[in-house]
Amino acid sequence: MQPLVISHTALANSLGLGVSATMDALRSRRSGLAPCAFEDVDLETYIAKVEALDDFRVRADLSAWDCRNNRLAQLCLEQDGFAQAVELAKRKYGASRIGVFLGTSTSGILQTELAYRRLDPDTGALPPDFHYAETQNSYSLAGFVLRYLGLSGPSFVVSSACSSSVKVFANAQRMMAAGVCDAAVVGGTDSLCLSTLYGFNSLGLVSHQPCRPYDAERDGISIGEGAGFVLLEKAPAQVSPDAMLLLGVGESSDAYHMSTPHPEGLGARLAMQRALGSAGLQASDIDYINLHGTATKSNDASEGKAVADVFGASVPCSSTKGWTGHQLGAAGVTEAIIAMLAIEHNFLPGSINTRQLDPAIAIDYRIENGAGKVNRVLSNSFGFGGSNCSLVLGRKA
């Protein structure tokens, strides 16, 4: 594929607001996980919550879109000069030539959960101040971001569980290659809600302690919330050697099970191989892999086998979900930006909370942080139903 320039990024999650807050937490090994204290949830687990959201509201002219998910989106758009960067892009391309392609798993479903607590006792009707289309509707996130940024280009939301906010990189690449738009805001937002906390608990996938990716005794995920955005632009004829690039994208589907990955990692392997092929690179060209690494028994075993098949045990790997929790629909973009930070700072993030590596997984999994030249990285995101996507990010060769 023709590389695209990643000209700007923004993050908001439990580690803090802005990209530098996440980088500082990674360096100091400060996790964003804490014992669950959210609404009236009664679960013995850990979550990664964005505390600033509790007292935050969306811009007044967009009050119909006010819900926890869109508040988190706005909070992120206000970080790292992102909205200002989009404003400059509007002057360059025009508002109608910038697409908005975003991922989320549950959109603003918390707003509906709270509305059901206020049903009319006589009619059973939802409260009049509940706006389904602007809050829970899956398109809510893109509709809100489009309006907040004053854009009018093509827009949609992908909801493919944990791969949502990485799949949109592929969508944006195709839309730009087809000439539908010249630039794109991609990324995703996922916020805490009762459906995901109790839902994953019902599946037996929630850990009672902070998650431990790739640990021999791993026992499940820690759910988190967060948002991340990236501004993608077509590469000029002369690309700066310091420019961050989207070099390759690989997608696949397991078509195996509704919630369990293929045990041999066939879909994961295919996504990684396609990403490398898309970038015109070999496995030996990758300096670091940010793994999906949810800390469930089946995910880490399946992904680890796939990584071993493609890369052997020669490429440093880690999962950063011990820091951020599993942000579901926002996990992909968050981890892609962390992978870019690895390049920018020649920094290899380790794996917080992991104590004893699973000896059955034969990859170069790093627990401790490290340093080294990092030019190109691969970032994995694998969703329920075997919806797999891998990105290759890095500098010009």
Pairing of strands 223-224, 316-318: unpaired
Strand partners, 173: none
Q: Which of 67, 193, 292, 389 is catalytic?
A: 292
Radius of gyration from C-alpha coordinates of the chain: 20
Q: Which of 76, 162, 193, 211 is catalytic?
A: 162
Q: Angle 66-78-76 (CA atoms, 0-180°, nearest 5)?
A: 70
Alpha helices in the chain (DSSP H): 19-28, 68-77, 82-93, 109-116, 140-149, 164-177, 194-202, 266-279, 297-311, 321-324, 331-345
Measure the CA–CA gap between 380 and 382, rounded to whole angstroms. Answer: 7
DSSP of 182-248: SEEEEEEEE---HHHHHHHHHTT-B-SSS--TTBTT---B-EE-EEEEEEEEEPPSS--TT--EEEE
How big is the CA angle at 21 (ends 226 and 72), to the nearest 5 degrees?
25
Short-list 157, 179, 184, 171, CA closest to 98: 184
Judge whether 292 counts as a catalytic residue: yes
Known catalytic membership, residue 162: yes
3-class DSSP assignment, residue 69: helix
For residue 13, report the phi and psi dihedrals to the nearest 5 degrees. -160, -170
Say how far apart CA 265 and CA 301 lie, in whole Å.
8
Q: Does the annotation mark 67 as catalytic?
A: no
Q: Which of 44, 360, 357 is nearest to 210 (CA)?
A: 44
Catalytic machinery residues: 162, 292, 326
